[in-house]
């Protein structure tokens, strides 16, 4: 793993206990009631799309983190394998999904990992933006290898919007490909952050042999589903 990818994983390991503050718009991520309401409305649009895609059958979640999306996938799936590189995040996800016997967690470096079988659904939230450009094609090779015939992927990710991140983060230009992040205790890390736009990503995926239907919410999220064409 490159130094930057190792630093990215170290950041998420150290951040696990405070990770949900971002999604729940708490503490440093609280940008005021109006922004929070907008965030929640846009998140609801994504959640509705995921539910509509009916992630049934055998599901795989890549970079599950603390289990925010795992909890949404679990009621649909007959089995769910959730993979992440941060044991600290996996412990929180396992606690969140306690009692869900059909959900299994695995700790692995996704840049080395290969799927053990094929899945009807492959989902990844806020992961694609952390895949460096030079690993983009390999990552989609993993998705292709993981999908059963007729299977679908679902992704959600960040748009380049300053109020998405913490108040003490200065958002670097989208073209930078790297963002600086701080933990609540002030420790500073750099992570890969590649922002994708729906049209360009759809076209790029078509060149890799995927048919995708992707869209953006007004401010915060890129999301959608697709399949091998
Ligand atoms: C932005 S979080 C997304 C978490 C979750 N999907 C969500 O939407 O809340 C990125 C996740 O990628 C994981 N991660 C970072 N580098 C990784 C690697 N090399 N292999 C596996 N997981 C990694 C982190 O531990 C973290 O949980």
**Candidates 63, 108, 124, 179: which one to mutate for ligand 1, based on the most atoms within 8 Å of Cβ?**
63
Which of 148, 152, 201, 163 is closest to 34 using CA atoms?
163
Predicted confidence at residue 84, as pLDDT, reads: 98
pLDDT of residue 179: 96
pLDDT of residue 170: 86
108 CB neighbour count, 10 Å cutoff:
12
Distances (CA, A) of 101 to 5, 48, 115: 32, 25, 20
Q: How many Cβ atoms are within 10 Å of 226's Cβ, its own excluded?
A: 21
Contact 109, 86 (CB under 8 A): no
140 CA → ligand 1 middle, Å: 16
Domain, as residue range, for 26: 3-228
Q: What is the pLDDT of residues 155-214, one digit of tens each?
A: 999 999 999 999 988 899 999 999 999 999 999 999 999 999 999 999 999 999 999 999
Alpha carbons 86 and 12: distance in angstroms, whole number? 7
Q: What is the pLDDT of residue 192?
A: 98
> For position 59, which CATH number holds?
3.40.50.150
pLDDT over 70 for what percent of the chain? 100
Helix (H) or strand (E) holding 221: strand 221-228
* Distance in Å, CA 84 to ligand 1 centroid: 6
Report yes or no: 13 and 88 within 8 Å, Cβ to Cβ. Answer: yes
pLDDT at 186: 95
Residues in the chain: 229
Sites in the chain below the pLDDT cut of 50: none
Please tell me what DSSP assigns to residue 54. Answer: -
Return d(Cα 60, Cα 154) in angstroms, integer: 10
> Atom of ligand 1 at shortest distance to CA of 156?
8
Residues in contact with ligand 1 by the CB-under-6-Å rule are 5, 8-9, 12, 63-65, 68-69, 84-86, 89, 109-111, 125-127, 130
Work out whether strand 77-84 and strand 57-62 pair parallel, antiparallel, or are unpaired.
parallel
**Domain count for the chain:** 1
Residue 205's pLDDT is: 98
Q: 12: burial class by Cβ within 10 Å (0-12, 13-18, 19+)? A: buried
């Amino acid at each position: 793993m490159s130094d930057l990818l190792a630093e990215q994983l170290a950041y998420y390991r150290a951040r696990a206990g405070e990770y949900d503050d971002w999604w729940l718009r708490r503490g440093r991520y609280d940008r005021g009631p109006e922004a929070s309401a907008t965030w929640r409305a846009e998140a609801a649009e994504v959640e509705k799309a995921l539910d509509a895609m009916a992630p049934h059958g055998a599901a795989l979640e890549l970079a599950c983190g603390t289990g925010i999306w795992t909890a949404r996938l679990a009621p649909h799936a007959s089995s769910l394998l959730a993979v992440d590189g941060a044991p600290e995040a996996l412990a929180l996800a396992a606690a969140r999904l306690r009692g869900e016997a059909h959900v299994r967690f695995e700790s692995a470096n996704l840049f080395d990992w290969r799927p053990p079988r094929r899945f009807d659904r492959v989902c990844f939230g806020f992961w694609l933006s952390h895949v460096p450009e030079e690993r983009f094609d390999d990552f989609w090779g993993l998705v292709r290898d993981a999908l059963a015939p007729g299977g679908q992927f679902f992704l959600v990710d960040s748009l380049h919007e300053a109020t998405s991140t913490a108040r003490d983060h200065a958002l670097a230009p989208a073209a930078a490909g790297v963002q600086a992040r701080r933990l609540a205790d002030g420790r500073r890390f750099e992570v890969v952050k590649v922002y994708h736009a729906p049209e360009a990503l759809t076209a790029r995926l078509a060149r890799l042999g995927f048919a995708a239907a992707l869209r953006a919410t007004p401010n915060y999220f890129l999301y959608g589903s697709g399949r091998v064409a």
